[in-house]
Amino acid sequence: MSTATTTEAFSEEFVAFHAGSKPSYRKVLKGAELKPTFNEIPVIDFTDIDSSSLATRKALGKLLYQTCSEVGFFYAKGHGIPQSVLDETLSALKKFFELDHDTKMTAHLHKNPAIRGYEPMGETKLDPKSNGDTKEAFTMGDDLLELEQNYPSNLPIPANAIPQNIWPAGAPWFRKALYRYYHHVFPFAMQLVRLIALVLCDDDHAFDDMFKFPITGMRALHYPPRPVEMKNYIGLGAHADFTWITLVLQDSVPALQVLNANGVWIPAPVIPGAFVCNVGQYLERHTNGIFPATVHRVANLTGDSRYSLAFFLTPDPDAVVEPLKECVGESERKYDAINVGDLYIRRILAARQKHPTAKKYKDTPEQELKYDILFKSIA
């Protein structure tokens, strides 16, 4: 991952993106500099992900390994979630974003210490060359106090636990719709975890102790049509996800782009009924860089609104992620062991600098930022 640090370096063409607390840069390669890399996103059919045949599951895992190591992105077909659930979920997103501004603002993320809730236009700016991200969003995630999430009875409830989600007033149907989708997508995401465990460690359950009640997030997104007069337009700036794995449900409007090793943006067109999935930074660390957290962005250049729903899966906040011995072998160990929750809070505060929690801790050294900040009042 190349980083430009001098004025001279910036005289060449670079792509800026976020993959940590500060922007990084990748040079756009040309001519003799070009590397072998991907030019399209592979499609994988997961119909047999729970096959009783170990050989069948291992063959599927081998295909997933190849795709994650070479691209870091893939389409997931055959996931078993009914099309009716996908369609009704997207309809609920559209209905929510069509609500009046005041209703959506009853769940404004600035009212929530965990940085969940409604995010109006202009809240983030991931691409320093743009005027800011042109999108609105709603985020909910892991919350041991919400009965819909079935917090395991054998796990302790922290004494400082407070609600982590906030919901819009007068729209109970929205919470119901998101949880209906959650109860379908979360089990499939955990199937992917077990398949990756099988192919990396030869044991479906190798990661079970890291995913007892994992950090999850569901981020509903609305990208309006591009204003004709807007220059340096971007829907969501270039970034690598700070997750273990991400699954995205897209509507029919194309906008997602993925950055290859040559600094070229590769379109990820919509495949009806399929998720588009990608490796996150935790899995990149877990595999010692074998699976890259591939950079991507969203640019809705059509005349239509675009709606999508990202599901983020990350290990338990108290888990420790370090390179697997199976992924290091004789090579160099590229990453130190990290506490999942502590890295999570450092990344999310850097990405939400306008939020009261980020402002409250803006002068705190990064190494002192701890996950339990999310359980503290923002007053």
Distances (CA, A) of 60 to 198, 205, 247, 317: 10, 16, 18, 29
What is the per-residue pLDDT for 377? 77
pLDDT for 26: 61
Q: Name 23's bridge partners.
A: 18
pLDDT at 302: 84
Prediction pTM value:
0.91
Task: Give the pLDDT of residue 31.
Answer: 72
* Alpha helix stretches (DSSP H) within the chain: 54-70, 83-97, 101-105, 172-201, 281-286, 325-328, 340-351, 356-360
Output the CA torsion sign for 161, 165, 171, 175. negative
Burial of 189-224, coded b for 16+ CB within 10 Å and e otherwise, reads bebbbbbbbbbbeeebebbeebbeebbbbbbbbbbe
- What's the pLDDT at 36? 85
Strand partners for 237: none
Q: What's the first-to-final CA gap in the chain, in angstroms? A: 39
pLDDT of residue 82: 98
Distances (CA, A) of 95 to 15, 30, 46, 98, 325: 35, 45, 31, 5, 47
pLDDT computed for residue 9 by the predictor: 37
What's the pLDDT at 238? 82
Q: What is the pLDDT of residues 78-107, one digit of tens each?
A: 999 999 999 999 999 999 999 999 999 999
pLDDT by position in tens, the chain (length 379)? 333 333 333 335 866 665 655 656 666 777 777 778 889 999 999 999 999 999 999 999 999 999 999 999 999 999 999 999 999 999 999 999 999 999 999 999 999 999 999 999 876 655 555 556 788 999 999 999 999 999 999 999 888 889 999 999 999 999 999 999 999 999 999 999 999 999 999 999 999 999 999 999 999 999 988 765 555 666 677 888 999 999 999 999 999 999 998 889 999 999 999 999 999 999 999 999 999 999 989 888 888 999 999 999 999 999 999 999 999 988 899 999 999 999 999 988 888 888 999 899 999 998 899 999 888 877 6
Report pLDDT for 178.
Answer: 98
80 backbone φψ class: left, alpha, beta (φ>0; ψ -120 to 50): left
pLDDT of res. 129: 57
Residue range 14-375, CATH number = 2.60.120.330
pLDDT attached to residue 11: 39
Instruction: Determine the residue type at 237.
Output: G
